[in-house]
Amino acid sequence: MMRRPRTGTIPEYTRLTPDALDALERAVRERRRVALRRRGTEYVVVAERLETLARDEALHGRLPMTGEVLAFPLHDLESFAVLP
């Protein structure tokens, strides 16, 4: 499910729909920032890659301040938004 954006707002995805996965793939291709929420904590990372292991997918994102790459399993995400 996607929250419908008002004019000028950034879409926030709360479910893994085809549109949500397209947005993540586009973020990886363009190395965009992604704001995501997992277990109540919000992260802002630069999208590095999407990885599929067995039947699970994960977004790998680089923390801008430290350069550390973290893996975020998509089923763990509460919501995410691709930032401009």
Q: Please state the rounded mean pLDDT for residues 9-26.
A: 93
Task: Quote the mean pLDDT of the chain.
Answer: 91
Q: Does residue 2 sit within a domain?
A: no
pLDDT at site 4: 57
Q: Please state the rounded mean pLDDT for residues 42-57.
A: 92
Q: Does residue 4 sit within a domain?
A: no
Q: Does residue 3 sit within a domain?
A: no
Q: Does residue 1 sit within a domain?
A: no
Q: Give the list of residues 6+ apart from residue 72 with CB closer than 8 angstroms, or none.
A: 36, 38, 43, 45, 58, 59, 60, 61
Q: Which domain holds residue 65?
A: 13-82
**Torsion angle of alpha carbons 4, 18, 44, 56, nearest 10°?**
140
Q: Please state the rounded mean pLDDT for residues 75-81.
A: 95
What CATH number is associated with residue 52? 2.30.30.100
Domain count, the chain: 1
Q: Please state the rounded mean pLDDT for residues 15-37.
A: 95
Q: Does residue 23 sit within a domain?
A: yes
